Amino acid sequence: MRVISGKCKGRQLQAVPGMTTRPTTDKVKEAMFNMIGPYFHGGIGLDLFAGSGGLGIEALSRGLDKVIFVDRDGKAIQTIRQNIQSCGLSNQAEIYRNDANRALKAIIKRGIRFTLIFLDPPYKNKELEALISIIDEHELLEKEGYIVAEHAEEVELPQHIGNLAKLKHETYGITGVSIYGYIAEEKGD
């Protein structure tokens, strides 16, 4: 596992010890960033099921100003801290041990809006639709922002969740990636 592009390109990332997480492969990560970027001019990201922190670190390397990393596993939190430190990104990261729903409640209270949100829950976890709905309902995504949802390839997420639309969907082996965002409104005179 490594950082693919940007200012931290080539840095090796540690995986979370044990079998509780499934890191996003470099091939899938590269494809994701090609769909949404591949580079950014600032902004804030949220890596909600961060695991090793690979997706959020890649986003920082490619130009985001800051990423909030959340995972409920203590080993994952330690791994994220190590990876952030080895990439020299400590001043651009907030790391929290929490479950996704409680983390979103805390974020709602802080009034933060994100350019990029990564949702990569365990494939057995079926809460993607509910999480995207919360993000939409509380306007946690900037109007030009993206939600990148990683899921098992057989999972078929709806075309619309609230005001968010599925803009792209790709499959890579056992992994499906769905990108959600707001559709730009046509301005009439």
- At residue 45, the 3 state secondary structure works out as strand
Model pTM? 0.94
Beta bridge partners of 61: none
The Cα–Cα gap between 87 and 71 comes to 19
Per-residue pLDDT of the chain (189 residues; tens, 9 = 90+): 899 999 999 999 999 988 667 778 888 999 999 999 899 999 999 999 999 999 999 999 999 999 999 999 999 999 999 999 999 999 999 999 999 999 999 999 999 999 999 999 887 777 899 999 999 999 999 999 999 999 999 999 999 999 999 999 999 998 999 999 998 764 444
The b-or-e profile of 103-138 (16+ CB within 10 A means b, else e) is: bbeebeeeeeebbbbbbbbebeeeebeebbebbbee
CATH no. of 26-182: 3.40.50.150
> How far is residue 146's CA from residue 141's CA, in Å, rounded to a whole number?
7
Phi first, then psi: give them for residue 172, nearest 5 degrees. -130, 95
User: Which ranges of 25-113 does DSSP label H, i.e. alpha helix?
Assistant: 26-36, 54-61, 74-86, 100-110
